[in-house]
């Protein structure tokens, strides 16, 4: 029995950029373990982004993350011919377009983390499954019934509660968070065919390289290297946790059901909220809690409904 394709869940800037291929064996206990690893990795990644952007611009944080990751890939390809032989780019324009979408989305996500409370940013990133539902209907002809439409509308209502348009608490970075999630949902939709054609490694590598190419021109006006050793430590944490989170997501959804894994992903709000309070003295306000409850309920319903429909 094959595991159904996952409902994508977001990170700091959206869901994982790597496409997730379902595995042949369902093992929910193993999947839950990897989902918990993903929660820890994604939470530390968000905290690391905030730490890096205390000294340098968010665009530099993207350059460090994608650039160092790309260099590690290149070294691996040079040293290991087996990895090098896995590279395939049969659809170069699709690789280019998808990579550009991911690059812009990552920049929007890091900009969000730089400017608004981490808990608020995390909740707004949770709108990604809502976008994925809509895009699945538009691009893949997936049937979206009235209940999933209602859940999606409720999710956007929750986002409006957090955005509070017209009130003092609003910040443009809140809209950047929604834009980041929407673009990552587009990238994940494009990942389906690309991963089947060229494999996970090629698809992930192209997104990292193109993210660097997209971001370097944007970062030139604010180009700056950190001088504080603590910031370089945060950069190292960012690169390592990004890789750990990406691997954990792939493993979790390889073995588990989205309906089971979705609730675990929301533990990130707890971990990030606690970390932001300890490290940056941030607190979560009332409207953010209310909006979080609405968005989380909506996305959990979408995940559960997807699982029921696929079993049927």
Q: Which helix (H) or strand (E) is 10 found in, with range?
A: strand 10-11
> pLDDT confidence of 246, banded at 50, 70, 90?
confident
Residue 110 and residue 61 in contact, taking contact as beta carbons nearer than 8 Å: yes
Integer CA distances (angstroms), 190 to 22, 88, 272, 289, in order: 16, 16, 29, 33
Phi and psi at residue 10, in whole multiples of 5°?
-85, 160
Q: Which helix (H) or strand (E) is 4 found in, with range?
A: none
* Residue 247 in this model has a pLDDT that exceeds 80: no
pLDDT at 306: 62
Q: Which residues contact 274 (CB under 8 A, 6 or more apart)?
A: none
Q: Which residues contact 204 (CB under 8 A, 6 or more apart)?
A: 17, 18, 19, 246
Q: Which helix (H) or strand (E) is 15 found in, with range?
A: strand 14-15
* Residue 146 in this model has a pLDDT that exceeds 80: no
Output the pTM of the full model: 0.78
What is the C-alpha to C-alpha distance for residues 174 and 157, in angstroms, rounded to an integer? Answer: 14
> pLDDT confidence of 14, banded at 50, 70, 90?
very low
- The rounded percent of the chain whose pLDDT value lies above 90 is 30
> pLDDT confidence of 221, banded at 50, 70, 90?
very high
* Residue 248 in this model has a pLDDT that exceeds 90: no
Joined tokens for residue 239: 């690169």
> pLDDT confidence of 7, banded at 50, 70, 90?
very low
> pLDDT confidence of 183, banded at 50, 70, 90?
confident
């Amino acid at each position: 029995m094959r595991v159904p394709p996952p409902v994508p869940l977001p990170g700091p800037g959206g869901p994982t950029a790597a496409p997730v291929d379902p595995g042949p064996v369902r093992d929910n206990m193993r999947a839950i373990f990897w989902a918990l690893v993903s929660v820890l990795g994604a939470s530390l990644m968000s905290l690391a982004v905030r730490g890096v952007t205390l000294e340098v611009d968010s665009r530099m944080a993207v350059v460090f993350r994608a650039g160092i990751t790309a260099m590690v890939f290149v070294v691996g390809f040079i040293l290991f011919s087996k990895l090098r032989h896995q590279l395939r780019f049969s659809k170069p324009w699709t690789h280019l377009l998808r990579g550009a979408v991911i690059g812009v989305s990552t920049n929007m996500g890091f900009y969000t983390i730089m400017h608004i409370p981490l808990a608020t940013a995390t909740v707004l990133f949770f709108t990604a499954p809502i976008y994925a539902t809509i895009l699945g209907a538009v691009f893949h002809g997936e049937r979206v019934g009235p209940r999933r439409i209602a859940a999606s509308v409720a999710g956007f209502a929750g986002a409006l509660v957090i955005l509070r348009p017209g009130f003092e608490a609003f910040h443009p970075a809140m809209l950047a968070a929604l834009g980041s999630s929407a673009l990552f949902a587009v990238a994940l939709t494009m990942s389906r065919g690309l991963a089947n054609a060229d494999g996970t490694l090629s698809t992930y590598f192209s997104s990292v390289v193109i993210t660097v190419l997209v971001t370097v021109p944007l970062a030139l006006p604010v180009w700056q290297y950190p001088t504080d050793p603590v910031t370089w430590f945060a950069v190292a944490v960012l690169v390592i946790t990004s890789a750990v989170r990406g691997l954990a997501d792939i493993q979790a959804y390889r073995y588990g059901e989205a309906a089971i894994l979705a609730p675990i992903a929301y533990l990130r709000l707890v971990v990030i909220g606690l970390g932001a309070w300890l490290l940056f003295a941030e607190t979560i306000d009332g409207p953010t809690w209310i909006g979080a409850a609405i968005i989380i309920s909506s996305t959990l319903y979408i995940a559960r409904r997807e699982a029921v429909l696929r079993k049927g």
